[in-house]
Amino acid sequence: MTNAAHDVLSPTPDDRFTFGLWTVGQTGRDPFGEPTRAALSAPYLVRQLAGLGAYGVNLHDNDLVPIDATARQRDHLVRDFQQALNDTGLKVPMATTNLFSDPAFKDGAFTSADARVRAYALQKTMHSMDLGHELGAETYVFWGGREGSEVDAGGKLLDALAWFRDSLNFLAAYSEAQGYGYRFALEPKPNEPRGDIFFPTAGSMLGFIPTLERPDLFGVNPEFAHDTMAGLNFTHAVAQIIDAGKLFHIDLNDQKMGRFDQDLRFGAENIKTAFFLVKLLEDSGYGGPRHFDAHALRTEDEAGVWAFARGCMRTYLLLKEKVRKFNEDPEIQAALAAYRVEDAELAELTGRFSPERARALKERAFDREALGRRGPGLEQLDQLTMELLLGVRG
Ligand code: GCO
Ligand code: MN
Ligand code: MN
């Protein structure tokens, strides 16, 4: 490997790669089986991630502080974690609340039909926001893992939406009152662990955000696996979020369509979609964290965990390098230029409505058959992309 190639593929904090404590700390437990590897402490995970070139580490409150910890235990755990952050320079850009593991949340947190559960969820989230702020987090994620249902016999659908809205309004106001200045990122998922989760897609979140009191504080945290599980095109979802100015955070991983939630290493499965996603992120100038919300396969030991973490970052950087080559490849650029047909006169006619332009456009003659005959060259363009990805172009 040449030095130049080595540099391009070695992660540095400038690449803004982050992992969750729950991702590299995942012990291999699944619904059918016990852990296959030992739990690793938060300070140890921080030191390892920093050594690999990550920028930051994200956490749920209970990834660091057990739900039943005493105040003394909390202070001790936070102090040791903070020490590891100080020693390594690793940041905590994002924090979130675990509102899904405890049985209290089995039928929802902010959307529970029990007012006591909803109030407890608010209380727990405020404590978690305090912790996130203490650690320097600027983004706060809401993933409503238990906000959903298996049966709708409870008849709470419209109420649940209102309860969710009230909770987010309350918490945004709390953040402002405390001077935390959080930006909130709402994470959609279609199902798992609930049979159906409320707000299943990016579009659901984009439609909901304008109904909040402070829509400016809210954006989306889309996840590759969540759209892919549902057979949707994740890159299209991210484009719509960018178009709305709402890409506040992103969860990267991989997934086979139609399966259980796999949380595979980034790029492990859908390499072409991953390429177009990296291209979209890089070309759009997205400057936020590239967060890997995934974990090593259950088969792996600790060495496999670090191979997983290195692999996520390395594949992202490999794809970013391919994006650079794609954007510089003369044949690809010529095919792209040929794909788009521009017409200055028509651009003028269709640009902005006026009665005159509308009349002129209605009178304009189009050679419909010629339009239908034109081949846009997508087979060739896609093959060139494949050859670039497979390493036979540059
Ligand atoms: C999942 C989700 C979670 C959230 C996390 C942060 O499928 O379990 O993706 O991993 O991203 O709780 O809020
Ligand atoms: Mn997920
Ligand atoms: Mn996620």
Let me know if 60 is a catalytic residue. yes
Out of 61, 63, 107, 329, pick the active-site residue.
Answer: 63
Query: Same structural domain for residues 312 and 353?
Result: no
Q: Among 295, 322, 349, give the residue marking a domain's end.
A: 322
The per-residue pLDDT for 1 is 45
Residue 347 lies in a domain: yes
Note the pLDDT tens digit of each residue in 187-205. Answer: 999 999 999 999 999 999 9
Residue 5 lies in a domain: no
pLDDT at residue 366 greater than cutoff 60: yes
Same-domain check for residues 97 and 225: yes
pLDDT in tens, 295-325: 999 999 999 999 999 999 999 999 999 999 9
- Indicate if 205 and 338 belong to the same structural domain: no
Residues contacting 143, CB < 8 A, separation 6+: 96, 100, 187, 189, 221
Examine the domain organization and report whether 271 and 382 are in the same domain. no
Q: What is the mean pLDDT of the chain?
A: 97
pLDDT band at 219 (very low <50, low <70, confident <90, very high): very high
154 and 49 within one domain: yes
Q: Is residue 136 part of a domain?
A: yes
Which pLDDT tens digit goes with each residue over 252-263? 999 999 999 999
- Picking from 322, 340, 357, the residue at the C-terminal end of a domain is 322
Binding site membership of 63 for ligand 1 (Cβ less than 6 Å): no
Average pLDDT, stretch 258-285? 98
**Residue 394: inside a domain, yes or no?**
no
Q: Long-range contact list for 9-15, CB < 8 A, 24+ apart?
A: 9/314, 9/317, 9/318, 9/321, 10/53, 10/317, 11/52, 11/53, 11/54, 11/313, 11/314, 11/317, 12/53, 13/53, 13/54, 13/55, 13/89, 14/55, 15/53, 15/55, 15/290, 15/313, 15/316, 15/317
Q: How far is the CA of 58 from the centre of ligand 2 (A)?
A: 14
Say which amino acid occupies 185. A
Q: Is 263 annotated as a binding residue?
A: yes
Question: Are residues 367 and 238 located together in one domain of the fold?
Answer: no
| Residue 87 maps to a domain | yes
**Structural domain range at position 260:** 11-322
Same domain, 95 and 229: yes
Whether residues 53 and 144 share a domain: the answer is: yes
Summarize pLDDT for 85-104 with one digit per residue, the tens: 999 999 999 999 999 999 99
Extract the tokens encoding 290: 């590239």
Residue 11, CA distances (Å) to 1, 298, 309, 315 in order:
16, 25, 11, 10
Boundary-marking domain end, from 293, 322, 351: 322
Among 7, 30, 60, 133, the one annotated catalytic: 60
In this structure, which amino acid lies at residue 112?
Answer: S
The rounded distance, in Å, linking the Cα atoms of 105 and 119 is 11
pLDDT at 80 over 80: yes
pLDDT at residue 2 tops 50: no
CATH of the domain at 167: 3.20.20.150
Residue 5 has pLDDT above 60, yes or no: no
Does 247 lie in the same domain as 192? yes
Residues 131 and 152 reside in one and the same domain: yes
- For the cut 70, the answer to whether the pLDDT of residue 154 exceeds it is yes
184 lines ligand 1 (CB under 6 A): no
> Which residue's CA is the nearest one to ligand 1's atom 8?
145
Domain assignment present for 205: yes
Query: Is 213 part of any known ligand binding site?
Result: no
Are both 295 and 342 inside the same structural domain?
no
pLDDT of residue 6: 59
Average pLDDT over residues 261-286: 98
Q: State residue 158's pLDDT score.
A: 98
The structure tokens listed for 145 are 């893992």
**Same domain flag for 313 and 381:** no
pLDDT of residue 143 exceeding 70, the answer is: yes
What's the start-to-end Cα distance of the chain, in Å? 15
Q: Tokens 């006169």 correspond to what residue?
A: 345
- 131 domain residue, yes or no: yes
Q: Of 217, 138, 147, 161, which is closest to residue 189 (Cα–Cα)? A: 147
Domain count, the chain: 2
Question: From ligand 3's centre to the CA of 330, what distance in Å?
Answer: 38
pLDDT tens-digit series, residues 109-138: 999 999 999 999 999 999 999 999 999 999
Pairing of strands 139-143, 183-187: parallel
On whether residue 179 sits in a domain, the answer given is yes
| Rounded average pLDDT over 149-168 | 98
Q: Which ligand 1 atom sits closest to the C-alpha of 97?
A: 13
Whether 236 is a known active-site residue: answer no
Tell me the pTM: 0.97
- Does the annotation flag 226 for ligand binding? yes
